[in-house]
Amino acid sequence: MNLLEIPMNDDGLITESISRLNKLYNGSLLYSIPSFHNPTGILMSKTKREELIRICKKERLPIIEDDAYGDLWLDKKKPNPLKAIDDQGLVLYLGSMSKTLGPGLRIGWIVGPEPVIHRLADIKMQMDYGASSISQFVVAEWLSSGLYEEHIQKVRNELKSRRDFTVQILNKYYKEFADWKIPQGGFYIWLHIKKQISMHKLFKHSLKENILINPGYIYDRNDQHHLRLSYSYASLEQLEKGLMRLSQLIASATIKVK
């Protein structure tokens, strides 16, 4: 695969760059995570979604819409998926149980034109003989019985208090040398470190203290200014302890660039 990145701003992909890039590189498809993007947490606005569909229609560029985090809105319902405004079968829509029920189930779904689905089903068959029938029955039961709706509400409440707690911790320890946007859903805060530091050194020093960080260079090899923080898994105590210690490491001289 030849991957090309499309720049983003606060409300999603910068759609103006798509036509130019497509002309230059003759793209085959566009991949996007419009809701609570991993790693930045960005939510694409309704207007941007409409604009994206309009441009991709014009460019005849199919879209993979990865909506793994879509149900995890925390403050207000997110705009409809791109698929909901796709009247030409341009969008392949992906959902997953991994972020809501559990990644071990290995259950996700896809919505798209029937011939494409048949082709993908055949490829999946050849790759792994298909997803476990037991997992599929479990998910079907959750969805049809109403358990999923009940569960997702609990997950949202829990995530919301964890997000608010993490933001409080950031306000306490990080204000001087970092900034961030408060995510409206999903798992992540994309922390921007304003100081010049060596992320590789920070990674090594943190690991020595049993803190595993997720630096921006995992997503963009030139990025030396971001950390992806997840508030979804660690306990509140671990979050506070880890973030406090990490702030001390960032403030210390040991992780200077040279």
Ligand X SMILES: Cc1ncc(COP(=O)(O)O)c(C=O)c1O
Contact set with ligand X (CB under 6 A):
33, 38, 66, 68, 96, 98, 103, 108
Neighbouring residues of 231: CB distance < 8 A, sequence distance ≥ 6: 159, 162, 163, 165, 166, 187, 188, 189, 239
**Closest approach of ligand X to the CB of residue 115, in Å:** 23
**Closest approach of ligand X to the CB of residue 36, in Å:** 9
Burial 31-59 (b: 16+ CB within 10 A, else e): ebbbbbbbbbbbbbeeebbebbbebbeee
The CA-based angle 2-130-68, given to 5 degrees, is 55
For ligand X, the closer of residues 33 and 72 by Cβ is: 33
**Closest approach of ligand X to the CB of residue 66, in Å:** 5
Segment 236-239 long-range contacts (CB within 8 Å, at least 24 positions apart): 236/162, 236/165, 239/162, 239/165, 239/166, 239/169
**Closest approach of ligand X to the CB of residue 247, in Å:** 26
**Closest approach of ligand X to the CB of residue 91, in Å:** 15
**Closest approach of ligand X to the CB of residue 106, in Å:** 7
For ligand X, the closer of residues 33 and 250 by Cβ is: 33
Nearest one of 75, 17, 21, 84 to 43, comparing CA atoms:
75
Calculate the dihedral angle through the C-alpha atoms of 180, 185, 186, 187, rounding to the nearest 10 degrees: 50
Enclosing H/E stretch for 51: helix 46-59
For ligand X, the closer of residues 177 and 217 by Cβ is: 217
Give yes or no for a contact between 184 and 78, defined as CB atoms under 8 angstroms apart: yes
Segment 167-172 long-range contacts (CB within 8 Å, at least 24 positions apart): 169/239, 169/240, 169/243, 169/244, 170/243
Distance separating alpha carbons of residues 152 and 3, to the nearest angstrom: 34
